[in-house]
Amino acid sequence: MSWAWTAKYCPIGKSWLTRARIQNSPRSTPESPRRRNSSLFLATTALKEFWDTQDEVLLLGPWCVRYDDPDWLADVRSRRLGNVWDDRARLERAAAYCGDLQPELLAKLADYLNAVHGVALSPRYWRILAGPWLLYYTHQLFDRYTQIVEALKEYPDARSLVLAVEDFYIPRDAADFHRFYHTDHCNLQLYSHIFRFLGRDFPARRHAPPPTPKLPPRNPSDRILGFASRCAISLLRPKIVSDDLYPAGRRLLWRLVQKMRGQALPLLVSGSFPQRAAPVDDSRHQGLGGLKTRDEFERLLVSSLPWALPTILLEGFAAARQSSLGQSSHVPRAVMASTGLYYNETFKLAAAEWVERGARLWGLQHGGQYGTAKYSLAERHEREVCDRFFTWGWSASAQDNRAQDLPVPRLSSGASPARSSGEDVLIFSVENVRNAHHLFPHPLGWQWEEYFSWLERFLAGLGPRISQACLRPYPHDYGWGLRQRLSRRFPNLRRDQASVPLRQRLSTTRLAVTDYPGTPFSEILALDKPSVHFWQDSLWESREEARPYFEALREAGVVHPDPESAARHALRIWDDPEAWWQQPKTRAARAAFVERYARTSADWPRVWTETLRRELGA
């Protein structure tokens, strides 16, 4: 859906109204002749209707290319622009800048939203509700802004095309924003606003935004569980209310409920409200552009808020809050959450209301690279917004008295995968959106091509054994075309079904392989499956405190510095990986890492119960 009033509320400098309406001027229509002051065209999107291929095309990044189309650049004269994030020190400074900016801007936004809605809610309330969206949006906008500034420095006379403001898309909530930022339309929208902010009045074209998705119907069992959980909270008045504690799973969640004897209960609610408020043409949006700023980027960010702020924080807030208040009149002593603090708007609102009335907020680590990545703004947000943050074992190195360790239920429950029972070697890979979704020490921009080339080098190193290998690709392709690319080069490589749970799949394989230090890496080690791992340290930077643990794994042959070394080691142990896995050096390195970064306990329900009860008494 598009909104014609968007142009009215895009304040960009003194002449913002004139610039925002450039799509109405004759010289900016696609059909109008225009004088060319450059022979270079700057492409910012893979939407080719926003390209001019009569001249040489500058490709700003891989988001301008559809890798699943081998003829994408056929008959196009093009060149690539450099990647600003090849300077990893600059990337770290950028992430720190965004991390420092977020709480300052949230405080201003909290004052504004309180005034608009006639309430007096604390900055923490708004940080719980708006913080996850603002975190990722700030990173994405700063990335695009930096790319454009550097491109225009190098090619000041380059031309481009922008999106008409009428077609700007306004997300409804955090989940809608998460879906939208994957799209080419979102990327084009951000670049178009940046060009206008910088005074570049490029011709505008229309392009229909992606339709707002309908809310998926909840199956009857989910609706019944949701209703039952709300009733149970109201009747039993538990001391702790949690989300679904992803990735524990409901079976493990109910074990905890049973062990806590009703003192902890989950609120199993839908992530979005049934009625999503559509944008309304009023002064509330216009006022967002008037927030005080300190530098050029913050001015850019604030100027984008009239169309970037999710409507659940403006038009939809009153109804959503009223609905949340109706979930339960009971206020627990603590709210415990994992991913519910990101995209489950119903749970976030309930949590914010309860915290506002005195409940404590406890956060749970819900994936790998917490404590090991050199820096993580998502980790920082979760730790700062919570009164207590439960880690997978690394609290001692956190230098934060809010951090405390708990074993990982999903990795602690059940038998370990069968030892070397399968015939194949299972290889895990990852993909991400072609445009950066946050500033994190992993591949960004063109660097993803280098990451994929490392995977290809490993597969090539397996030689004839590749027929016994099986790739478990990331569920989403994001336009990289990796599956097609690998199928063409390695026709004997089989593809695994990611729908099969990890533990179950590992029980039918002899050896696991990962090419990045993410969640599968930590989980495979915790599940004690023979495994070989490799990644490029310069693209997957680790925290100083984690390096001794990685080094011990390298010395044991578990982690390798390059794909060729990993492939050679995999071939050496292929027929009997268990013999190598049981060597004392391997056992010690694996055990040390798991104890620190993926802690398990066969008696995890007791450990959790004792810890949570102790916290309630604190």
Paired with 358 in beta bridges are none
pTM (predicted TM-score):
0.91
C-alpha dist (Å) from residue 169 to 163, 185, 299: 11, 9, 20
| Residue that wins the pLDDT comparison between 419 and 236 | 236
C-alpha dist (Å) from residue 453 to 79, 318, 432, 564: 20, 50, 15, 12
Per DSSP, the residues of 421-466 read: -SSEEEEE-----SS-SS--SS--TTHHHHHHHHHHHHHHHTGGGG
pLDDT given at position 17: 27
pLDDT given at position 12: 39
| Residue that wins the pLDDT comparison between 478 and 596 | 596
Collapsing DSSP to helix, strand or coil, 78 comes out as strand
pLDDT digits (tens, 9 = 90+) for 48-81: 999 999 999 999 999 999 998 889 999 899 999 9
C-alpha dist (Å) from residue 333 to 123, 228, 563: 20, 20, 50
Collapsing DSSP to helix, strand or coil, 395 comes out as helix
pLDDT digits (tens, 9 = 90+) for 9-33: 343 333 322 233 223 332 333 333 3
424-597 CATH choice from 1.10.3720.10, 3.40.50.2000, 3.40.50.12640, 2.40.50.140: 3.40.50.2000
Query: Is the pLDDT at 215 greater than 90, yes or no?
Result: no
Cβ proximity of 571 and 368 under 8 Å: no
pLDDT digits (tens, 9 = 90+) for 310-339: 999 999 999 999 888 776 689 999 999 999
Domain with CATH 3.40.50.2000 in the chain: 424-597
Spell 566-589 as b/e; 16+ CB within 10 A means b: bbebbeebeeebeebbeeeebeeb
Give the Cβ contact number of residue 528 at 10 Å.
Answer: 18
* Mean of per-residue pLDDT scores for the chain: 89
CATH number 2.30.30 is the correct assignment for the domain at 220-269+326-407+602-617: no
558, 575, 483: which is closest to 524 by C-alpha?
Answer: 558
E strand or H helix at 558: none
pLDDT given at position 36: 43
504 pLDDT band, cuts 50/70/90, is confident
Spell 196-214 as b/e; 16+ CB within 10 A means b: bbeebebbbbebebeebee
pLDDT digits (tens, 9 = 90+) for 539-591: 999 999 999 999 999 999 999 999 999 999 999 999 999 999 999 999 999 99
Cβ proximity of 38 and 159 under 8 Å: yes
Cβ proximity of 496 and 505 under 8 Å: yes
Residues near 260 by beta carbon (within 8 Å), at least 6 away in sequence = 238, 240, 609, 612, 613
Collapsing DSSP to helix, strand or coil, 267 comes out as coil
Collapsing DSSP to helix, strand or coil, 542 comes out as strand
Q: Say how far apart CA 332 and CA 267 lie, in whole Å.
A: 12
pLDDT given at position 275: 55
pLDDT digits (tens, 9 = 90+) for 401-452: 999 999 999 999 765 665 656 778 999 999 999 999 999 999 999 999 999 9
pLDDT given at position 225: 83
Paired with 80 in beta bridges are 59
pLDDT given at position 413: 77
pLDDT given at position 540: 98
34 pLDDT band, cuts 50/70/90, is very low
45, 92, 80: which is closest to 194 by C-alpha?
Answer: 45
pLDDT given at position 222: 77
Query: Is the pLDDT at 595 greater than 80, yes or no?
Result: yes
> What is the percentage of the chain residues whose pLDDT exceeds 70?
89
pLDDT digits (tens, 9 = 90+) for 359-382: 999 999 999 999 999 999 999 999
